[in-house]
Amino acid sequence: MRALLWFRNDLRLEDHRILSSIASEAEVLLCVFVDNPDTYRVTDLGFPKTGAHRRRFLLQTLAELDQQLRSLGQRLLVAEGQPAAVIRTLCQEHNITHVYCSREVTTEELQDEAAVAEAISPLPLHRFWDRTLIHPADLPFHIDNLPDVFTSFRKAVEKRWSVRPMYPRPTVLPAPPAMDFPEVSSVALPQECGAFPFSGGPTSAMRHLHDYIHTRQLIRTYKDTRNGLIGAEYSSKFSPWLSVGSLSPRTIYYAVREHEATYGANDSTYWLIFELLWRDFFRFTAARHGAVLFHRWSLRGEGPVWRRDRDAFDHWRNGTTSDDFVDANMRELFATGWMSNRGRQNVASYLSKTLGIDWRWGAAWFESMLLDYDPCSNYGNWAYVAGVGNDPRSSYRVFNTQKQAQTYDAAGAFRRLWL
């Protein structure tokens, strides 16, 4: 078998289902990441779909993955173009017999999968689900019957836990075909005073995981500190690596369980797994509802008439509103590509509820800026805060940003940092 592995949002060797499965089966293995120029196009709102911070994090990740593959006698080919055209050409040039990739669930990603499958036909495209903590086949219900409210989902799952074992990291891989592999360049992230002073890549991800859970045991206070605003320690910061697949949710889950076996469980260790379940819930919701998630009223089917005020929107995204808490959070995002969970809820409520502006504009800005952008979590969270997502009660919930500032930034240190 001459195999091609199309890396997508699974940029790691640890707990990689496809690599683990084909390591001993393929005679030749070509590892490819397709850098699609469509992901950098300028949107109708006037900014790139993928901004500089996310681009740098991805390049760091690809460079580090290439180094890991080299240690096993492999290489990563980063090829620019449309996935269907690139993969079809590579299959023809290197006599590929099988193509593998991880499954995605959102519109653009599914379109890419379909286009690749058509382009390489009659070769098979083997697609594997590997992006959630709970495999959909292990849910206590069919995904078409997914509860609309997270609490119902969580309680049903927790009654019958089923997290599959991690896949072993390969110790040897088949050789790549004879070809030239351009160097995968890395770009250093700017040293800003933000809360995410880390670099991309699977090695960096595993180092941070071990440090957070085992060495410094910051996980033991996670629930108490997760609403912080300043510094690198107030929350786990796993999400950027999860978004590109440098960490799998199972890797985090079993690290937490190992910690609990030694030091005991507490509210904080539970709460980190609780957040992984939220991530699963948004991905399953996207799988169930498809493109509806991205509609103006999302899962509700009806809702407010959104304002389309570009001037007000630009003040929001540039951090020049009349609200200092909103502005501080937006400026941190612009400067670093990161924003706390507390900040995200406040700025999303301010745009959609206080200003009444189309929530999808805010989600698009987050897509451009966030290091940890994931379409399911990003659009799912935005729809939820805007009152058109999973929980119908959220339509009545409006964040009082000044009250939130007094609660979470009483001394004003965060606002002074960014304003």
pLDDT category of residue 304 using cuts at 50, 70 and 90? confident
> Do 277 and 397 sit in the same domain of this protein?
no
If you average pLDDT over residues 307-326, what whole number do you get? 97
SS3 78: strand
Mean residue pLDDT across the chain: 94
As given in the structure block, the two tokens for residue 76 are 């990563």
Domain count, the chain: 3
CATH number of the domain that 362 lies in? Answer: 1.10.579.10
CB 355 within 8 A of CB 213: no
> Do 119 and 18 sit in the same domain of this protein?
yes
Q: Note the pLDDT of residue 36.
A: 95
The residue from 290, 323, 338 where one domain ends is 290
How many CB atoms are closer than 10 A to CB 159? 8
pLDDT digits (tens, 9 = 90+) for 214-230: 999 999 999 999 999 99
> Do 326 and 363 sit in the same domain of this protein?
yes
Cβ partners under 8 Å of residue 324, min gap 6: 405, 415, 419
Q: What percent of the chain has pLDDT over 90?
A: 87
Tell me the pTM.
Answer: 0.95
Model confidence at 24: pLDDT above 90: no
Domain span including residue 222: 202-290
Spell 353-364 as b/e; 16+ CB within 10 A means b.
bbbbbbbbbbbb
pLDDT digits (tens, 9 = 90+) for 181-215: 988 876 655 545 577 888 899 999 999 999 999 99
pLDDT digits (tens, 9 = 90+) for 33-70: 999 999 999 999 999 999 999 999 999 999 999 999 99
DSSP 273-297: HHHHHHHHHHHHHHHHHGGGGGSTT
The residue from 130, 154, 182 where one domain ends is 130
CB 282 within 8 A of CB 243: no
User: Residue 127 forms beta bridges with which residues?
Assistant: 101
Q: Note the pLDDT of residue 187.
A: 61
Q: Note the pLDDT of residue 301.
A: 80
> Do 116 and 30 sit in the same domain of this protein?
yes
> Do 322 and 394 sit in the same domain of this protein?
yes
> Do 245 and 311 sit in the same domain of this protein?
no
In a domain, 248, yes or no: yes
How many CB atoms are closer than 10 A to CB 267? 12
* Distance between CA atoms of residues 210 and 38, nearest Å: 36
If you average pLDDT over residues 278-300, what whole number do you get? 93
* Distance between CA atoms of residues 1 and 22, nearest Å: 9
> Do 302 and 260 sit in the same domain of this protein?
no
> Do 300 and 367 sit in the same domain of this protein?
yes
The residue from 240, 261, 290 where one domain ends is 290
pLDDT category of residue 17 using cuts at 50, 70 and 90? very high
If you average pLDDT over residues 67-93, what whole number do you get? 96
Cβ partners under 8 Å of residue 397, min gap 6: 349, 385, 387
> Do 79 and 6 sit in the same domain of this protein?
yes
Q: Note the pLDDT of residue 192.
A: 54
pLDDT digits (tens, 9 = 90+) for 130-184: 999 999 999 999 999 999 999 999 999 999 889 999 999 999 999 999 998 988 8
